[in-house]
Amino acid sequence: MKNTNRIAVIIFSLILVVSTGLLISMGGIDRQSEDNTVFFTATVKNTEIMDTGENISVEINTEEFKAGLYLQQSICNEMGVEDIEALKIGEKISFRVEKAKAEQLDKAEFVDIAALKTEMKVILSLEDYNGYMRDAAYPARTVGGAIAMLSLFGALFFWVKSRRAKRSNRKAES
């Protein structure tokens, strides 16, 4: 019985640590700003719209960068892609990328962008991006928070149960 309680405490504690870590790593996903992103301009080479029928994502290839500029499904499904479909080859665009990802523009296959505009129109603002990401992350944050809380209660329950069993054994031995 004693070992079972310890194992349960360890398992619930591990689940708590992992779920808390995931929640922390998701913390900044919807907090992009001018301070933590880098502004770039580029020339449209082509656009690729991937439509599976249920989900849409977009990759914009530019003359200046190796990496494609990627707009993920959670954003495209919300905002639509009409303005991106209207981009013309040779058109100048401006976009923002997280500082941590900025150096990947010449190395990676694609890089997520947090804002996009042309000379005439804002296609995706930082505020819109943050709102779309907040909405997309809400279910995962809710489930992650519930798992973390249940794991905390489970670890505490079995820890208390283990302590009580230990006290009962001491009294029985006396």
User: How close are the terminal C-alpha atoms of the chain, in Å?
Assistant: 20
Helix (H) or strand (E) holding 124: strand 122-124
CATH number at residue 83: 2.40.50
- For the whole model, what pTM was predicted? 0.73
Please state the domain count of the chain: 2
Same domain for 147 and 87, yes or no, is no
Alpha carbon distance 74, 59 (integer Å): 14
Same domain for 13 and 84, yes or no, is no
Host domain of residue 151: 2-28+136-173
Identify whether 129 is part of a domain. Answer: no
Identify whether 12 is part of a domain. Answer: yes
Same domain for 103 and 61, yes or no, is yes
Same domain for 115 and 155, yes or no, is no
DSSP state of 108: S
Same domain for 111 and 68, yes or no, is yes
Angstrom distances, CA of residue 106 to CA of 34, 57, 62, 112, 164 = 21, 21, 11, 13, 60
DSSP state of 24: H
Amino acid letter for position 38: V
Tokens of 134: 């907040």
Residue with the two structure tokens 């249940």 = 150
- Which pLDDT tens digit goes with each residue over 55-98? 888 999 999 999 999 998 888 888 888 899 899 999 999 999 99
- Which pLDDT tens digit goes with each residue over 97-155? 999 888 888 888 989 999 999 999 999 999 999 988 888 888 888 898 999 999 999 99
Same domain for 57 and 116, yes or no, is yes
Identify whether 47 is part of a domain. Answer: yes
* Best CA proximity match to 67, nearest among 116, 96, 108, 115: 108
